[in-house]
Amino acid sequence: MTETSATTVHDNRNGRPPINELELHTETVETIDPVTFEVIKNNLWNINIEHGTTLIRTSGSLIVAHGRDLNPCILTEDVEYVFAGPYVQIITSAADLATRWVMENLAGNPGIREGDMFLTNDPWIGATHQMDVTLICPVFVDGKVFCWTVNTMHQNDVGGVTPGGMSPEARDSFHEPVRISPVRIVEQGRLREDLEEMYLRQSRLPGMLGLDLRAAVSGNLVAQKRILELVDRYGAAVVKGVMRRVIDHAEKTFVNRLLKLPDGTWRARGYLEQALPGDRGIYPLVLTMRKSGSNLVFETEGTHDQVGCLNSSFAGWRAGVINAVTNALLHDLQCALGGPLRRIDFNAPTGSLCTAEFPGAVANSTNFVIMLTVSLAAQVLGKMMISDESQRASICASGGSSNAPISGMSGINQRGEPWGGLHMEIPAGALGGFALNDGIPTGGTLWSYGTRMPDAETEEQDRPILFLYRNELEDSGGAGRWARGVGPVAAQVTHGADEIRHDVSACGFAAPTSGGLFGGYPGAANLIVEKRNSNVRDLFANGVIPDSLESLDGDLTTVQPKMNNLRQGPTDVHEFRLSAGGGYGDPLLREPQRVQEDVELGYVSREAAAEMYGVVLDNDNKVERAKTDARRLQMRTERIGRPPPRAIEESDGYRVSEYLILKPDAEVQGTDKDDAKMHCRMCDSVICGITENYKDAAVYCRLPISAAGSLMNDPGLYIDAGIELRQFVCPGCGTLLETEIACEFDTVLRDIELLSL
């Protein structure tokens, strides 16, 4: 693997050569019958699951126990992933980097021995951000390292100026939780109390941190014990042979899938906003993926330089990419990341938002750069995979919670104890539209498989809050041929405490982060907003529960995405909305019957049915066919500024996007694929040549972002630049080929650039 960014990895060797005192158990049986292989493979998978279950059942925090913000993995002795767990993917995708650092730097001093475990949270070594604390356990056989079990859990508080660690005003990493380079916190089976004390001493919630440290130790102990039982039973060389073959198999499968796809370059762009409180800037994050044969390279060219509190270290950004690759290409391979990673390179010069140099502020990386990268990577992967029918089903528009708006809450709870935590609706994001199906309202996120939102009662038990409502938000899902990425909305008042402190660290208020795909619209933007000095307590006294901010009197108050020390008092209602899921495909091609269902199910309003989908419903919410047809034709006409010269009639061909197919050029009469032209799949109009940019040939409309849906926010409240919804439309039939969310000053993004077929 080429990792340009490796130069920024913290190195304490002072130029000394790597210490090779660590003996590795490398013996491998190559020939294992398929049955034994399958049996041991299942055993290893189940061991890793048991590791995860142990963490969940013993953890002290809602973030781990409900948020499932954890992940264990098994690594070979030479640090390749065998299995990661089906929990939060991004969190485990840096475990290999951290483990390699331990191997290369600590083998001589203090040494790596049986029964040791190493703790780290250093983003320049191998953590997504400082709250994701990793515990690394070498598993020894015959005095040599046979493999590693590693777990990572998001911790509620490991220190730093802001409770929870994600500070909106961190100018550099010294404002953030302390970075702990790997320390040998468990020595030959004994937890070192001095190091534990040093670690817990950083935290506002040392009890919880101590409990989770024990959870992490027990998880590793369970996994280690089970692996050694397997070794006893089958022999180390056989178990290792299975590990290697799991990796080889995943690599081969990955390669086979890539070989079915065309070579080329795909790009996606998203935005982060407000580098620090008071800033009104917006900063692009561009992800480029180049595919050549059976290899992928991910690049950051075009991404803004590191700035304010918005950044990620290389380890975090890379984890976001790996997460999206797992969803798209490895979903049926049990998170066996090791093989595919042999085929993925990262070309990412340091100093960008995605590859910040020390000591850039990086504690916000997961909710900013990494989540956005998961969505952007899903888009580029989807655009590459569209040509192969067998891989199409897993293509999706951005999922919800594509940027988690963090409002770190803290204060004294109803029992007089200090408390801290985040809005826990984040896991109940939404899955946006898929290539062959609708997404899932409040169905989760693309960056975690098992994360759950805790019950309101669970939260109210330990937090001084009272929820007013927590529901699915109508019209929040991005419109599309496939849609329903409906996200949640929640509001709370204080309860049992005079005030709650909020440290807001968010993006995606001005520029929505959940992009649509192939003409789909973005999901609703993030939003935190307050009704201050409201009449909520009077309503309570009168037997009324307000179920929206509109039903309250008071001062509607904009909350900026970066805002430290916002104080919520007893009459202030705090509402929280999550970036919802994007749509897939042109909304005007959504079956009217489905739109009717959307309305019946409370996911889409009648107004949006007409505005976004061109579907006209009668008073009983039934589709009016003729009016719908007429309205859709009118909308197509508006898109291209004239009545569409061609009718919608699907044709077939080699797909290079949802609506673009390649066909041999009729005039040249050649069969050479380079002569092929891109045609509109919906009307067969010729759009452009294969190597040309279809966006240059499409009808280009620039609309204010408000055109993307009623739940977009006014960018002027947050940033200086304008945000646009750009449409690229087929001049023949008016089909929306692609949408783009862009800052008004940015050029059109070349998203598809084919090299060969």
In the region spanning residues 496 to 515, those forming contacts with another protein, defined by CB under 8 A, are 496
Which 515-544 residues touch another protein, going by CB under 8 A? 540, 543-544
**Distance (Å, whole) CA 495 – CA 109:** 52
Q: What burial letters (b/e) apply to 135-161, b meaning 16+ CB within 10 Å?
A: bbbbbbbeebbbbbbbbbbbbbbbbbe
Which 342-361 residues touch another protein, going by CB under 8 A? none
The least distance separating another protein from the CB of residue 98, rounded to whole angstroms, comes to 23
The least distance separating another protein from the CB of residue 367, rounded to whole angstroms, comes to 16
User: Does the protein bind another protein through residue 65 (CB under 8 A)?
Assistant: yes
User: Does the protein bind another protein through residue 338 (CB under 8 A)?
Assistant: no
Among 182, 241, 284, 429, binds another protein (CB under 8 A): 429
**Distance (Å, whole) CA 198 – CA 143:** 30
User: How far is CA 293 from each of CA 247, 263, 393, 408, 665, rounded to the nearest angstrom?
Assistant: 19, 6, 22, 45, 25
Q: 54 or 513, CB closer to another protein?
A: 54
Among 38, 389, 607, 650, binds another protein (CB under 8 A): 38
Contact 581, 429 (CB under 8 A): yes
Which 461-490 residues touch another protein, going by CB under 8 A? 461-462, 466-472, 488
The least distance separating another protein from the CB of residue 191, rounded to whole angstroms, comes to 7
DSSP assignment of 5-72 equals: GGGGS---STTPPPP----B---------HHHHHHHHHHHHHHHHHHHHHHHHH---HHHHTT--EEE
The least distance separating another protein from the CB of residue 35, rounded to whole angstroms, comes to 4
Which 171-200 residues touch another protein, going by CB under 8 A? 191
Which 296-335 residues touch another protein, going by CB under 8 A? 326-327, 330-332, 334-335
Q: 332 or 652, CB closer to another protein?
A: 332
Binding segment for another protein (CB under 8 A), chosen from 95-103, 175-183, 216-224, 277-285, is 216-224
Neighbours of 584 (CB within 10 A): 33
Q: For 677, phi and psi rounded to 5 degrees?
A: -120, 150
**Distance (Å, whole) CA 117 – CA 182:** 9
User: Does the protein bind another protein through residue 53 (CB under 8 A)?
Assistant: yes
Fill in the per-residue mask, 435 to 454: x = in contact with another protein (CB under 8 A), - = not in contact.
Answer: --x--xxxxx-x-xxxxxxx
Angle between helices 206-234 and 236-259 (to 10 degrees): 100
Position 55: which residue type? L
DSSP 320: H
The least distance separating another protein from the CB of residue 585, rounded to whole angstroms, comes to 15
Binding segment for another protein (CB under 8 A), chosen from 215-223, 338-346, 369-377, 720-728, is 215-223
In what order do the strands lie in the sheet containing 144-154?
81-84, 70-76, 144-154, 132-141, 117-120, 183-187, 190-191
User: Does the protein bind another protein through residue 42 (CB under 8 A)?
Assistant: yes
Q: 127 or 428, CB closer to another protein?
A: 428
The least distance separating another protein from the CB of residue 390, rounded to whole angstroms, comes to 9
The least distance separating another protein from the CB of residue 472, rounded to whole angstroms, comes to 5
User: Does the protein bind another protein through residue 460 (CB under 8 A)?
Assistant: yes
Q: What angle do CA 522, 703, 549 make, to 5 degrees?
A: 55
Q: 332 or 667, CB closer to another protein?
A: 332
The least distance separating another protein from the CB of residue 46, rounded to whole angstroms, comes to 5
| Length of the chain, in residues | 757
The least distance separating another protein from the CB of residue 122, rounded to whole angstroms, comes to 25
User: Does the protein bind another protein through residue 57 (CB under 8 A)?
Assistant: yes
**Distance (Å, whole) CA 304 – CA 721:** 16
Position 299: which residue type? E
**Distance (Å, whole) CA 154 – CA 71:** 9
Among 283, 434, 576, 728, binds another protein (CB under 8 A): 434
Which 248-277 residues touch another protein, going by CB under 8 A? 249, 252-253, 256
Which 122-141 residues touch another protein, going by CB under 8 A? none
User: Does the protein bind another protein through residue 621 (CB under 8 A)?
Assistant: no
Binding segment for another protein (CB under 8 A), chosen from 63-71, 344-352, 611-619, 661-669, is 63-71
Q: 467 or 654, CB closer to another protein?
A: 467
Number of residues that bind another protein (CB under 8 A): 97
Q: 600 or 674, CB closer to another protein?
A: 600
Q: 421 or 715, CB closer to another protein?
A: 421
The least distance separating another protein from the CB of residue 461, rounded to whole angstroms, comes to 5
**Distance (Å, whole) CA 657 – CA 589:** 15
Q: 73 or 107, CB closer to another protein?
A: 73
User: How far is CA 551 from each of CA 488, 534, 568, 644, rounded to the nearest angstrom?
Assistant: 18, 10, 19, 44
Show the tokens assigned to 259.
């070989």
Among 3, 6, 29, 37, binds another protein (CB under 8 A): 37
Chain centroid to Cα 176, Å, comes to: 22
Which 363-422 residues touch another protein, going by CB under 8 A? 393-394, 396, 414
Per the rule left: phi > 0, alpha: psi between -120 and 50, beta: everything else, 301 is beta
The least distance separating another protein from the CB of residue 34, rounded to whole angstroms, comes to 4
Identify the burial level of 349 via C-beta atoms within 10 angstroms of its C-beta, where 0-12 means exposed, 13-18 middle and 19 or more buried.
middle
Q: Which of 99, 123, 108, 110 is nearest to 16 (CA)?
A: 108
Binding segment for another protein (CB under 8 A), chosen from 54-62, 99-107, 128-136, 314-322, is 54-62
Place of tokens 């935590």: 421
Q: 347 or 571, CB closer to another protein?
A: 571
**Distance (Å, whole) CA 599 – CA 507:** 30
Helix, strand, or coil here: 172? coil
The least distance separating another protein from the CB of residue 189, rounded to whole angstroms, comes to 9
Binding segment for another protein (CB under 8 A), chosen from 174-182, 272-280, 460-468, 606-614, is 460-468
DSSP 222: H
Among 26, 294, 458, 571, binds another protein (CB under 8 A): 458
Among 259, 601, 647, 755, binds another protein (CB under 8 A): 601
Q: 24 or 200, CB closer to another protein?
A: 200
The least distance separating another protein from the CB of residue 445, rounded to whole angstroms, comes to 8
Which 70-89 residues touch another protein, going by CB under 8 A? 85-86
Show the tokens assigned to 467.
């929820």
User: Does the protein bind another protein through residue 241 (CB under 8 A)?
Assistant: no
User: Does the protein bind another protein through residue 28 (CB under 8 A)?
Assistant: no
Contact 462, 473 (CB under 8 A): no
Show the tokens assigned to 446.
């693309």
